[in-house]
Structure 1
Amino acid sequence: MTVDVEVWTDINCPFCYLGKARFEQALEGFAHRADVRVVHRSFELDPAVPAEESGSVVEHIAHKYGIPVAQAEANERGLGAQAAEAGLEYQTSGRDYGNSFDMHRILHLALEQGVQERVLDALYAANFADTAPLFGDRERLVEVAVGAGLAEADVRRVLDSDEYADAVRADEEQAAAFGASGVPFFVFDRRYAVSGAQPAEVFTDALERAWADAASSLQVVADGDACGPDGCAVPQR
């Protein structure tokens, strides 16, 4: 018996970074941790950004939301404080943003090879804990992915092709079908959903609900004559 958790995320998303840590806190204390399977799904926050473009996060946020740069800087400091509470490193200045499509394709490669968690953590660390540019820099992406356990030849093969593009689009279509308009978006056994970087206890509750449903015994609502491996029951007249 297992519980399947699918998590729609984007590398640009600070709340995805925070949400992953809070979910893992809940998972760590869950009695059936070994029976939970987690898969990370693709969601692009800024799919229209050119693949080769990289820019300042603070300036991007100020422009996107029509707020002063000083307010965007304050918002980043607030996120940094939340990250620190979760035990995460967070650079509140100097970070960049950009198109994440290739990163999502690499994450599908990592899923296939059993190292998706490691690669996702490495991408988050490269984006949020390091001021070195990540977006629009193919060699930096290769470096991060290889450092997390993928073979360089595999990473370059994917980047030189459209491999896993359909998988990314399928994830995004499923997110839309679920009504997800933002990330992180957690789905438990395709029965319960949690939106946003919620406190750990919210994730604990969702895990417990999903486990209770998975563990519930089958309820037989009608029982009658039937055939089995030993033959068919013959009604007595």
Structure 2
Amino acid sequence: MRVEIWSDIACPWCYVGKARFEKALAAFPHRDQVEVVHRSFELDPGRAQDDIEPVVTMLTRKYGMSAAQAEAGEDNLGRLAAAEGLDYRTRGRDHGSTFDMHRLLHLAKEHGRQDELLQIFYRANFAEERSVYSEGPERLVELAAEAGLDTDAVRKVLADPGAYAEDVRADEREAAQLGATGVPFFVLDRTYGVSGAQPVEVFAQALTRAWGERTPLRLVDQGDAQACGPDGCAVPPVG
């Protein structure tokens, strides 16, 4: 079974939702037969790389809330993150474009390191004092190296704005086609969708239901099928 997760590194609910889903998956009896694929979704698509601002400022501007309301929301997210065993800085974080990070996640996917890099990006963005936005490309190179990626390959991607750009945009188009208007957005076997950082129990129920409703392969009556197998190939009839 395949689970696809659309998310953004700048999304705190994606950070919390990933932890909750992973708790459900860890307890799922068929977890070893579940493939998890991370898909790109930008909360601020098209945002310039140098357009960086404090999170509280972004929240007040984008959602029309007061600074006190924005800070209270961050405090609440901090408590929810802590409940999942996650570190979360409620003050002093900044916000910017995540496009380059999404491009690097597609590079990491090719090397089987996508989940590791995503978790590192989340930790760097939500828990560490250093910024993933204002320190330039070398900060992303450093984080990608921590996930086991080759630094020269990472620098090559970052130096080419077109590298993996279409992969990111394709994920975002697909999210729109599936009806996703926000993240995190979980799709189980292209049959069930789960929106938001749901409780662990909800993810557990979704996994169980999707697994139970998987359709086994049904073979059409093939008669004397001509095919190749471990013991060789069928001999074609003569005449």
Superposed pair shares fold, TM > 0.5:
yes
Partner of 2:152: helix, strand, or coil?
helix
Match in the other structure for 2:56: 58
Alignment-mate amino acid for residue 91 of structure 1: R
The Cα of 1:56 is off from its aligned counterpart by 0.3
Match in the other structure for 1:151: 150
TM-score with structure 2 setting the length: 0.90
Match in the other structure for 1:201: 201
Match in the other structure for 1:47: 45
Matches of 1:51 and 1:210 in 2, distance apart?
A: 39
Identity of aligned residues (%): 53
Matches of 1:48 and 1:218 in 2, distance apart?
A: 43
Partner of 2:50: helix, strand, or coil?
coil
Match in the other structure for 1:164: 164
Match in the other structure for 1:139: 138
Match in the other structure for 1:180: 180
Matches of 1:132 and 1:228 in 2, distance apart?
A: 63
Match in the other structure for 1:234: none
Matches of 1:111 and 1:74 in 2, distance apart?
A: 36
Partner of 1:228: helix, strand, or coil?
coil
Change beyond 3 A, Cα 1:14–1:219: same
Which stretch shifts more, 140-149 or 98-107?
Answer: 140-149
Match in the other structure for 1:110: 108
Matches of 1:225 and 1:131 in 2, distance apart?
A: 63
1:89-124 CA distance string (max 9 Å, x none): 000001111111110000000000001111001000
The Cα of 1:18 is off from its aligned counterpart by 0.3
Matches of 2:119 and 2:153 in 1, distance apart?
A: 19
Matches within 5 A, 1:49-88: 49-88=47-86
The Cα of 1:53 is off from its aligned counterpart by 2.3
RMSD: 1.7
Structure 1: which 4+ aligned runs deviate by more than 6 Å?
none
TM-score with structure 1 setting the length: 0.91
The Cα of 1:63 is off from its aligned counterpart by 1.0
Q: Is the CA contact (8 Å cut-off) linking 1:15 and 1:197 kept in structure 2?
A: yes
Match in the other structure for 2:210: 210
The Cα of 1:228 is off from its aligned counterpart by 2.8
Q: Is the CA contact (8 Å cut-off) linking 1:44 and 1:100 kept in structure 2?
A: yes
Matches of 1:48 and 1:225 in 2, distance apart?
A: 53
Match in the other structure for 1:31: 29
Change beyond 3 A, Cα 1:189–1:224: closer
1:133-180 CA distance string (max 9 Å, x none): 111422211111112211110110101111111110110010000010
Matches within 5 A, 1:8-23: 8-23=6-21
The Cα of 1:186 is off from its aligned counterpart by 0.3
The Cα of 1:219 is off from its aligned counterpart by 6.1
